[in-house]
Structure 1
Amino acid sequence: MWLTAPFDAELIDRLNRAQAGVVPSPAHPLVCPRARDGRHALAGGYVGTLVAQRRGLVCPSCGHVQAWVPASVLAAAERVSDEPAACAAQRIERMRQGALEDFRALVRDGHLSAQPMVETLEAMAPRPAAREAAPAGAAELALAA
C-alpha cells in the first residue's frame, strides 16, 4: 500500500519522526535520489534525508519531491522493539538532539524546506515534570521551624 500526497499534519509528524530515526525501530531514511551529487547536506546521520511536508517528501537541498511513501516504512518504524524502554528513550532523545542540530543548520543556511522537521523534533522535546504544588503555608512552616 502507498501513502500519497497531500499528507495531513499527523502523517507529516509520523513520517518526519521515522525519517529522523526517533521511533522505536529506526531504519535507513528515504533519501533524495540525487544525494550523491556533492550538494546535499548530512542531516539526521544521512546525506539527502527527505523531509515530510504536505506536498510529499521534499529534499531540503535541491527541492526534489517524492509524492509517495510505502506504508511499510511507517509500519516498520513504529513496531515495538525488544529494547528496554529506558534504553529506547535515551537512544531516541540522543537521535532527536543530533537530528535537530542538523536540520536547524539547514534552515539557518537557507534550506527552509527543512523547517517541518525542526518543528517535529522540537515538539518531541522532553518536558520537565511539574513539581507538586507545595501545601499552603509550607514556606511559613519551614521558616518557623
Structure 2
Amino acid sequence: MAERLELPWSEEQVAALNQYQRGGQYHPFTCGGDRSDDAHVAYATAHGEDSGLLVATKDGWVCPVCGYRQAWAHGFMAI
C-alpha cells in the first residue's frame, strides 16, 4: 500500500501537493461536499479550477469554499 503523509505537512510538502493538484496528469483531490452548488461553481469559474479543488495547508487539505477537510495525501504526491 502507498505511504500516506502524516500531518502536519512541511512547507515543502504543501508546495509540492498544491503543484500536484494543478498538474493535470491525475484527477485532483476534490471537496466531499456539494461541489455542484452555486458557491463551488462560482469559485471554480472565477479561479479557472475544477469545482471543489482542495488546497493543501500544513494542517491538511481544505476546500476554500465550504471548509471541508481531508487529513491525508499519498506520499508520492509530495515528491
TM-score range, shorter chain: 0.7 to 0.9
Answer 1 or 2: higher relative contact order, Cα 8 Å, separation at least 6: 2
Task: Identify the match of residue 13 of structure 1 among 15, 23, 26.
Answer: 15
Aligned match of 2:60: 56
Q: When you count helix as a share of all residues, which structure comes out higher?
A: 1
Aligned match of 2:74: 70
Runs of 4+ in 1 over 6 A off after TM superposition: none
Query: TM-score, structure 2 length as denominator?
Result: 0.76
- Could you tell me how far 1:44 is from its partner in structure 2? 4.8
- Could you tell me how far 1:65 is from its partner in structure 2? 1.2
Q: 1:46 to 1:68 in 2, by over 3 A?
A: same
Query: What is the CA–CA distance in structure 2 between the aligned matches of 1:20 and 1:61, rounded to whole Å?
Result: 17
Query: Does the 8 A contact of 1:20 with 1:44 survive in 2?
Result: no
Query: TM-score, structure 1 length as denominator?
Result: 0.44
Query: What is the aligned residue count?
Result: 72
- CA-based RMSD: 2.0
Identity of aligned residues (%): 38
Aligned match of 2:37: 37
Task: Identify the match of residue 46 of structure 1 among 41, 47, 50.
Answer: 50
* Letter paired with 1:15: L
Bigger Cα Rg: 1
Aligned match of 2:6: 4
Question: Per-residue CA shift, 1:76-108, capped at 9, x if unaligned?
Answer: xx6xxxxxxxxxxxxxxxxxxxxxxxxxxxxxx
Question: Per-residue CA shift, 1:111-144, capped at 9, x if unaligned?
Answer: xxxxxxxxxxxxxxxxxxxxxxxxxxxxxxxxxx
